[in-house]
């Protein structure tokens, strides 16, 4: 009866221990892998009255093993966890199928019995080794408890690692969502900034266009736009009034069509140099032919409007309508020519009178001396005749000298004082 009672007590204790082992998942549920293994080793150490318990884990990500040891008397241990693992792994490599050994105690003095267990799911726990100084260790019940506990721990460790992976994936997902959200915020901010800058640019462009339109429409100077071939694209009211064409009619013409023939070649050369970049602008005075056929003088300033987004265009500005000025200049030139002619005629008259006066004196003396010579010849006074002839020669010489001086004056010879 007493043996039967002991067996019943051992059976109840075994059942209680099994229940405790089977309840372990409830303890470590939701914990980290290290918490699962630590809980398993602590429970086995106290439940089986062990000297130590050792576990070697496999890291499924890095592949590097990790080792954990729980000791009944940690203060007396002189070896590290790695040294304990090296001693135990020597026995495990020699005969991995042996269920137990009596070996030198790696955590104290003397010998110790060890029992290794390899769970079915060895990708998480490589081996669990329990060690005890009792001679009958491990009993069949202890071996059962160790196997069930190791398998429970392997399953729990798998669940913990799956949960950890889920948490890691969730955290990575949260980080990705946060990063994507941050990027979307940045993109939205960039879009908002670009929209703001675009609105500002559009507003500035609109204001610039309004200012240009105000200047274009209200300017007293004639302003026109033309394409590279010279055909008009637009012309303001002042330009239309100067030429007598409407804007619609101007669009059918080029600025060379209304340019007088005398100025077309020069105008073409200047516009070609403008298109080739040889000059930035040019100015010229030329004559335009109005719609009614009349010619007007204009001073034209031509520049090239270019940009990345637009086709180059000519900007023509008639700075001043100089038709009246040109007419006044022509009238002034005519008056100056008339005055010069009158001055020349008056000067010629004065000079003619002066020359006639100068010549009349020697000519009169010449006539008088000739008459005297005739009188002396009738009396046959040859001496007086000779004197009269000499005086006649002197008067003729004076006439010759006067004519010579007049000719010198016409030839712009240097003056000679006598």
Residues 318 and 283 sit within 8 Å (Cβ to Cβ): no
R_g over Cα of the chain? 66
Q: Give pLDDT, residue 31.
A: 63
Q: Taking 80 as the threshold, does the pLDDT of residue 85 lie above it?
A: no
> Are β-strands 65-71 and 125-132 bridged in parallel, bridged antiparallel, or unpaired?
unpaired
Of 277, 270, 272, 226, whose CA–CA distance to 251 is shortest?
Answer: 226
CA distances to 29, 121, 149, 165, 377 from 159, in Å: 8, 12, 15, 10, 174
**Distance from first CA to last CA of the chain, Å, rounded?**
188
**Region 244-252 average pLDDT:** 88
For residue 164, name the pLDDT band (cuts at 50, 70, 90): confident
- Say which residue, 368 or 257, is predicted with more confidence: 257
Centre a 10 Å sphere on the Cβ of residue 131 and count the other Cβ atoms it contains. 28
Q: Give pLDDT, residue 394.
A: 81
Q: Give pLDDT, residue 10.
A: 59
**Region 136-154 average pLDDT:** 77
Q: Give pLDDT, residue 99.
A: 60
How does pLDDT run across 10-47, given as a tens digit for each residue?
566 666 666 666 666 656 666 666 677 777 777 777 77
Q: Taking 70 as the threshold, does the pLDDT of residue 309 lie above it?
A: no
Q: Taking 80 as the threshold, does the pLDDT of residue 215 lie above it?
A: no
Q: Give pLDDT, residue 25.
A: 67
Q: Give pLDDT, residue 23.
A: 62
d(CA 218, CA 238): 8
Q: Which residue has the tokens 């239309």?
A: 240
- Say which residue, 321 or 72, is predicted with more confidence: 72
Q: Taking 70 as the threshold, does the pLDDT of residue 415 lie above it?
A: no
**Region 120-124 average pLDDT:** 55
d(CA 101, CA 144): 17
Residues 271 and 230 sit within 8 Å (Cβ to Cβ): yes
Backbone φ and ψ for 79, nearest 5 degrees, come out as -100, 150
Query: Which domains, from first to last, does the chain contain?
Result: 2-172 (3.30.450.40), 222-321 (3.30.450.20), 334-410 (1.10.287.130)
Look at 88-92, 114-118, 373-377 and tell me which has the smallest mean pLDDT.
88-92
**Region 355-361 average pLDDT:** 73
Q: Which helix (H) or strand (E) holds 234?
A: strand 232-235
Q: Give pLDDT, residue 53.
A: 83
Percent of the chain with pLDDT over 90: 0
Q: Taking 70 as the threshold, does the pLDDT of residue 61 lie above it?
A: no
Q: Taking 70 as the threshold, does the pLDDT of residue 269 lie above it?
A: yes
How does pLDDT run across 283-295, given as a tens digit for each residue?
888 888 888 988 8
* Token code pair at residue 346: 């008056």
For residue 100, name the pLDDT band (cuts at 50, 70, 90): low
**Region 142-164 average pLDDT:** 74
Mean pLDDT rounded to a whole number for the chain: 76
What's the pTM value of the predicted model, to 2 decimals? Answer: 0.39
Percent of the chain with pLDDT over 70: 75
For residue 145, name the pLDDT band (cuts at 50, 70, 90): confident
For residue 127, name the pLDDT band (cuts at 50, 70, 90): confident
């Amino acid at each position: 009866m007493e043996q039967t009672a002991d067996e019943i007590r051992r059976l109840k204790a075994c059942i209680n221990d099994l229940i405790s082992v089977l309840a372990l998942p409830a303890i470590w549920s939701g914990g980290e892998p290290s918490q699962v293994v630590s809980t398993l080793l602590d429970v086995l150490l106290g439940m089986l009255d062990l000297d130590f318990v050792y576990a070697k884990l496999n890291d499924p990500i890095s592949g590097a093993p990790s080792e954990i040891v729980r000791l009944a008397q940690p203060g007396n241990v002189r070896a590290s966890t790695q040294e304990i693992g090296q001693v135990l792994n020597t026995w495990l490599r020699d005969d991995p199928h042996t269920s137990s050994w009596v070996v030198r105690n790696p955590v104290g003095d003397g010998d110790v019995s060890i029992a290794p267990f390899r769970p079915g799911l060895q990708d998480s726990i490589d081996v669990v080794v329990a060690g005890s100084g009792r001679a009958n260790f491990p009993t069949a019940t202890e071996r059962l408890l160790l196997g069930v506990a190791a398998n429970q721990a392997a399953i729990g460790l798998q669940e913990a690692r799956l949960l950890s992976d889920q948490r890691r994936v969730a955290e990575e997902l949260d980080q990705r969502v946060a990063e994507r959200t941050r990027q979307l915020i940045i993109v939205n901010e960039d879009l908002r900034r670009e929209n703001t800058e675009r609105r500002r640019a559009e507003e500035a462009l609109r204001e610039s266009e309004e200012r240009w339109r105000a200047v274009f429409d209200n300017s007293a100077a004639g302003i026109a736009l033309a394409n590279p071939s010279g055909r008009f694209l637009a012309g303001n009211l002042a330009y239309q009034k100067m030429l007598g064409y409407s804007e619609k009619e101007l669009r059918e013409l080029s600025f060379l069509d209304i340019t007088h023939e005398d100025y077309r070649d020069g105008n073409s050369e200047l516009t070609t140099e403008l298109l080739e970049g040889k000059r930035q602008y040019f100015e010229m005075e030329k004559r335009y032919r109005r719609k009614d056929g009349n010619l007007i003088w204009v001073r034209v300033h031509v520049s090239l409007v270019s940009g990345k987004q637009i086709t180059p265009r000519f900007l023509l500005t008639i700075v001043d309508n100089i038709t009246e000025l040109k007419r006044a200049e022509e009238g002034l030139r005519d008056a100056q020519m008339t005055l010069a002619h009158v001055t020349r005629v008056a000067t010629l008259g004065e000079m003619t009178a002066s020359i006639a006066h100068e010549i009349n004196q020697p000519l009169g003396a010449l006539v008088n001396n000739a008459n005297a010579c005739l009188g002396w010849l009738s009396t046959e006074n040859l001496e007086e005749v000779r004197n009269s002839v000499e005086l006649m020669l002197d008067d003729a010489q004076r006439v010759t000298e006067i004519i010579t001086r007049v000719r010198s004056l016409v030839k712009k010879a240097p003056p000679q004082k006598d």
